[in-house]
């Protein structure tokens, strides 16, 4: 509908300009320049200059309308006289912030975010706001996945230690979900792909004597679910 309106406006402008020019030419042809006084000739010259300006303005308007038509055909919008990027371009920009397993929910729509015109692109795991004019990602509510080194740092921050040289990290699958298993300073952390600590195991070593072998043994104990407040020997100061 909008494209049809623009085309009609473009046609009307063209007809108006052409009609005015034709009328001016006829009037000029029907007048013998030798019979005109200098004052009338000056008026005609002034009118001719005005028509030339009108033609230039009309051409600019027609060009603008044609650009709008082309933009609409390309899936773009015109907002406050500015041409937006297309929906496909907005989706492509938003996908850089989304996980490969995410899929699009609905058609992106124009919205306002902090006073800026954006495309609101909804994925299964969150929403991304993309600047409607330059394609810049302005906001994303999609959780960001971490890597193994970030998992180690999360464990170190929890223990408030800086030395991670002896840390060990593995990728494990528990109940179908992937976790980082980080061993650091006699603790074992299970951290999900988004950096959340889901379980902490405390490794305790006890020695036992035997009359026959005199050997010692160790065992891992003290498994507990991660809580916001630390317990026992690692209580918050």
Mean pLDDT of the chain: 76
Greater confidence, 138 or 230?
138
DSSP state of 103: -
- CA-nearest of 89, 60, 78, 86 to 3 is 78
DSSP-derived 3-state class of residue 228: coil
Greater confidence, 41 or 63?
41
pLDDT digits (tens, 9 = 90+) for 107-134: 899 999 999 999 999 999 999 999 999 9
* CB of 95 closer than 8 Å to CB of 54: no
Distance CA 95, CA 142 (A): 10
Beta strands in the chain (DSSP E): 78-79, 82-83, 109-113, 116-123, 126-131, 137-140, 168-174, 177-184, 187-192, 197-202, 223-225
Distance CA 170, CA 160 (A): 21
Question: Can you give the pTM of this predicted structure?
Answer: 0.50
DSSP state of 233: G
* Mean pLDDT within 123-149: 94
* CB of 90 closer than 8 Å to CB of 122: no
pLDDT digits (tens, 9 = 90+) for 178-237: 999 999 999 999 999 999 999 999 988 776 554 444 444 444 444 444 444 444 434 344
pLDDT digits (tens, 9 = 90+) for 84-105: 999 999 999 999 888 877 889 9
């Amino acid at each position: 509908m909008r494209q049809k309106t623009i085309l009609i406006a473009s046609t009307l402008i063209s007809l108006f300009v052409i009609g005015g020019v034709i009328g001016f030419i006829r009037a000029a042809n029907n007048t013998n320049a030798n019979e005109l006084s200098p004052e009338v000739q000056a008026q005609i010259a002034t009118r001719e200059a005005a028509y030339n300006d009108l033609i230039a303005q009309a051409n600019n308007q027609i060009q603008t309308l044609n650009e709008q038509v082309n933009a609409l055909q390309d899936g773009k919008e015109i907002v406050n006289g500015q041409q937006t990027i297309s929906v496909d371009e907005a989706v492509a920009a938003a996908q850089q912030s989304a996980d490969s397993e995410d899929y699009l929910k609905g058609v992106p729509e124009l919205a306002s975010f902090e006073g800026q015109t954006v495309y609101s692109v909804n994925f299964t795991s969150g929403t991304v706001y993309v600047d409607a004019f330059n394609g810049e990602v302005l906001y994303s509510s999609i959780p960001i996945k971490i890597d193994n080194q970030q998992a180690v740092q999360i464990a170190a921050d929890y223990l408030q230690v800086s030395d991670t040289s002896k840390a060990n990290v593995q990728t494990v699958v528990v109940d179908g979900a992937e976790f980082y298993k980080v061993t650091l300073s006699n603790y074992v952390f299970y951290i999900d792909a988004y950096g959340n600590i889901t379980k902490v195991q405390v490794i305790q070593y006890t020695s036992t004597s035997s009359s026959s072998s005199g050997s010692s043994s160790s065992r891992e104990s003290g498994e507990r679910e991660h809580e916001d407040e630390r317990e026992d020997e690692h209580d918050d100061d």
